[in-house]
């Protein structure tokens, strides 16, 4: 049922976009995006955003998403979050808008909101490796190792020989006193990278 809703939402957005864009307007929009990319490459993020503001349409997912990124790069986190949220309101299933919104929220230290966004991503896409990994890191940083374990375990289930998942699952097990499991995971991490200093440090702490 969710896939059906997603298809209808996306189709409506596409139809509205086609109706609203005439040839002249489309050319103007394309030119504005092109200029914004050129300015971005020069590190002129605010000017790149200003170019898009000249053709701003509140119903444009693409403009709002791009303004979210450019304002984030310019250090304008509140404005960035506002545009990412508008993009998300237009296409509620969009993972790119959710991940985008996480940038300014993180920069403003709104970690509880960041956690909720990651959880919303996982509600639709439970096997999203990036969301699982970053949620694991947040809970590990908070020393909530039981919750961290859940997300790192999911990551390792999906990528059994992925280094980042292995090393963090190893340390999480270590912090929980599960030394046998931690030792095996540190050893697996060394198979991926025989010179891994974190894995070697972990093994040296296990008697």
Residue where one domain finishes, among candidates 77, 110, 143: 110
Q: Is 107 exposed, middle or buried (0-12, 13-18, 19+ CB in 10 A)?
A: middle
pTM of the model: 0.85
Question: Which residue in 106, 116, 100, 27 sits closest to 64, CA to CA?
Answer: 100
Q: What is the DSSP letter of 117?
A: H
Q: Are 102 and 133 in contact (CB under 8 A)?
A: no
- Say whether both 75 and 151 belong to one domain: no
Q: What's the domain count of the chain? A: 2
- Say whether both 92 and 133 belong to one domain: no
Residue where one domain finishes, among candidates 50, 76, 110: 110
pLDDT at 9: 58
CA terminus-to-terminus distance, the chain = 52
Q: What is the pLDDT of residues 138-168, one digit of tens each?
A: 999 999 999 999 999 999 999 999 999 999 9
Evaluate whether residue 190 is within a structural domain. yes
DSSP characters for 63-105? HHHHHHHHHHHTT-HHHHHHHHHHHHHHSTT-HHHHHHHHHHH
Q: Which domain covers residue 86, as residue numbers?
A: 1-110
- Distance of alpha carbon 32 from alpha carbon 201, whole angstroms: 51
- Distance of alpha carbon 189 from alpha carbon 178, whole angstroms: 17
Evaluate whether residue 115 is within a structural domain. no
Rg (CA), the chain: 21
pLDDT at 26: 72
Residue where one domain finishes, among candidates 110, 143, 159: 110
- Say whether both 68 and 156 belong to one domain: no
């Amino acid at each position: 049922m969710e896939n059906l809703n997603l298809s209808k939402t996306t189709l409506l957005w596409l139809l509205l976009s086609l109706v609203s864009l005439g040839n002249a307007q489309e050319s103007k929009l394309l030119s504005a995006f092109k200029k914004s990319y050129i300015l971005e490459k020069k590190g002129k993020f605010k000017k790149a955003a200003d170019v898009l503001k000249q053709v701003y349409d509140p119903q444009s997912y693409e403009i709002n998403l791009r303004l979210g990124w450019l304002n984030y790069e310019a250090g304008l986190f509140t404005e960035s979050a506002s545009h990412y949220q508008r993009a998300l309101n237009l296409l509620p299933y969009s993972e790119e808008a959710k991940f985008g919104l996480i940038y300014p929220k993180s920069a403003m230290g709104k970690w509880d909101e960041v956690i909720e966004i990651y959880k919303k991503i996982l509600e639709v896409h439970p096997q999203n490796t990036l969301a699982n990994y970053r949620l694991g890191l947040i809970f590990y940083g908070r020393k909530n190792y039981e919750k961290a374990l859940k997300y790192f375990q999911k990551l390792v289930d999906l990528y059994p020989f992925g280094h980042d998942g292995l090393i963090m699952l190893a340390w999480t097990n270590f912090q929980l006193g599960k030394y046998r499991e931690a030792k095996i995971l540190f050893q697996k991490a060394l198979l991926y990278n025989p010179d891994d200093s974190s894995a070697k440090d972990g093994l040296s702490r296990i008697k």
